[in-house]
């Protein structure tokens, strides 16, 4: 029986091997190539997953047509005759959504739901030449701004799920932190970093730690929407589960746990003041 790491390695190798390139060198995957890789032998069952992924794409405010391109292909039958079949040209994001909406009882799906999402996020950052050329301080500023934006979206989605009051949301956030930080809540992380009461923990994180928290926030928002989570208890558990899954992936990739990452000496607010002074 293969372990999680061997499944992950196999998934990566086979997934990248079926990648196609358009004339402009942009990447895509054919759905009919992806289906057997994800252990779907029946095309009709896989199409149902594709349709769920389309809905998730719309709910995430992305243009479905940009990620799921329906095409017609001619195949040769055993008799030599040709028949037209429907296929999809999928973006990396579309493949990720398909994995997220697949049958979790399938080992490759269960493993891929975290692995593939992380690979998608990593690819987005690698494709961003500006990000690659940034200094650590610039990355912190960019990620902190992005996290502020996504936390607002997460708050709105959590509210729809039943997380209504300020106290409710604080409890909800702590469940996410506990999952990602191995049981530490916001107060524990604050103390661990040696911060003053007025200082915010997100403003005293390096880019790696901020990226882990950004990933936790974006994936929790998507899962709350996708699973149509209802009720504070279920929302809290969802946040904890996503945080735990991100932590598990960091461990599998040999990364440093968030609570063990160094705390920068300069806060994001100080960096912002320096930036504003230069731009002023």
Output the DSSP codes for 76-104. E-TTS-EEEEEEEEE-HHHHHHHHHTS-T
When mean pLDDT is compared across 168-172, 196-200, 234-238, 252-256, the lowest value belongs to: 252-256
Q: 136 and 23 in one domain?
A: no
Position 174 in a domain: yes
Give residue 4's pLDDT band: very low, low, confident or very high (50, 70, 90).
very low
Q: Are residues 225 and 133 in the same domain?
A: yes
What is the per-residue pLDDT for 17?
A: 84
For range 232-239, the mean pLDDT = 96
Residue 114 scores a pLDDT above 60: no
N-to-C CA span, the chain: 61
| pLDDT at residue 89 greater than cutoff 70 | yes
Q: What is the number of structural domains in the chain?
A: 2
Q: Residue 12 pLDDT > 60, yes or no?
A: no
For residue 107, pLDDT over 60 is answered with yes
Confidence class of residue 132 from pLDDT cuts 50, 70 and 90? low
What span, in angstroms and rounded, lies between the C-alpha atoms of 262 and 108? Answer: 34
Domain containing residue 275: 128-279
Mean pLDDT computed over 240-257: 91
**Domain final residue pick, 107, 139, 155:** 107
Let me know whether 245 and 139 are in one domain. yes
Residues 233 and 99 reside in one and the same domain = no
Q: Are residues 140 and 213 both part of a single domain? A: yes
For residue 154, what are the contacts with CB-CB under 8 A and spacing of at least 6?
A: 217, 218, 220, 221, 224
Asked whether residue 120 is domain-assigned, the answer is no
Average pLDDT over residues 188-213: 94
**Which range, of 176-180, 192-196, 199-203, 272-276, averages the lowest pLDDT?**
272-276
Whether 80 maps to a domain, the answer reads: yes
Do 32 and 102 belong together in one domain? yes
Q: Residue 112 domain-assigned?
A: no
Both 53 and 82 in one domain: the answer is: yes
User: 107, 138, 158: which is the final residue of a domain?
Assistant: 107
In this structure, the answer to whether residues 204 and 237 fall within a common structural domain is yes
Alpha-helix residue ranges (DSSP H) falling in the chain: 4-17, 31-37, 43-59, 64-67, 92-100, 107-127, 129-132, 136-161, 166-180, 186-192, 207-226, 232-252, 268-279
pLDDT for the residue numbered 1: 36
> What's the CA gap between 88 and 163, in Å, rounded?
38
| 117 has a pLDDT exceeding 60 | no
pLDDT band at 188 (very low <50, low <70, confident <90, very high): very high
Could you tell me if 99 and 171 lie in one domain? no
Residues 24 and 83 in one domain: yes
> What's the confidence (pLDDT) of residue 103?
80
Q: Is residue 121 part of a domain?
A: no
- Residue 98 sits in the same domain as residue 134: no
Asked if residue 119 belongs to a domain, the reply is no
Q: Two tokens at 280?
A: 């002023």
- Residue 116 falls inside a structural domain: no
Residues 158 and 226 in one domain: yes
Q: Residue 2: its pLDDT value, please? A: 40
Q: Would 114 be classed as within a structural domain?
A: no
């Amino acid at each position: 029986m293969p372990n999680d790491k061997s499944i992950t390695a196999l998934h990566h190798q086979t997934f990248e091997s079926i990648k196609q390139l358009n004339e402009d060198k942009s990447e895509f995957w054919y759905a009919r190539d992806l289906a057997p890789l994800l252990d779907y032998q029946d095309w009709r069952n896989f199409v149902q997953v594709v349709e769920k992924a389309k809905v998730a794409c719309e709910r995430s405010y992305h243009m479905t047509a940009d990620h799921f391109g329906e095409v017609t292909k001619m195949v040769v039958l055993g008799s030599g005759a040709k028949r037209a079949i429907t296929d999809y040209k999928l973006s990396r994001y579309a493949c990720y959504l398909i994995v997220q909406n697949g049958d979790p009882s399938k080992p490759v799906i269960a493993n891929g739901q975290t692995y593939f999402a992380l690979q998608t996020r990593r690819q987005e950052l690698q494709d961003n030449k500006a990000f690659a050329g940034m200094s650590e301080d610039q990355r912190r500023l960019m990620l902190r701004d992005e996290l502020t934006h996504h936390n607002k979206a997460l708050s709105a989605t959590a509210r729809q799920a039943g997380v209504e009051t300020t106290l409710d949301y604080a409890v909800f956030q702590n469940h996410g932190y506990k999952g990602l930080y191995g049981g530490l809540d916001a107060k524990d992380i604050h103390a661990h970093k040696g911060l003053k009461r007025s200082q915010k923990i997100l403003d005293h994180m390096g880019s790696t730690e901020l990226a882990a928290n950004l990933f936790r926030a974006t994936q929790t928002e998507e899962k709350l929407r996708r699973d149509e989570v209802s009720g504070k208890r279920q929302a809290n558990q969802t946040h904890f589960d996503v945080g735990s899954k991100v932590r598990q992936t960091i461990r599998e990739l040999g990364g440093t746990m968030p609570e063990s990452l160094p705390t920068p000496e300069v806060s994001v607010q100080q960096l912002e003041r320096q930036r504003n002074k230069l731009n002023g």
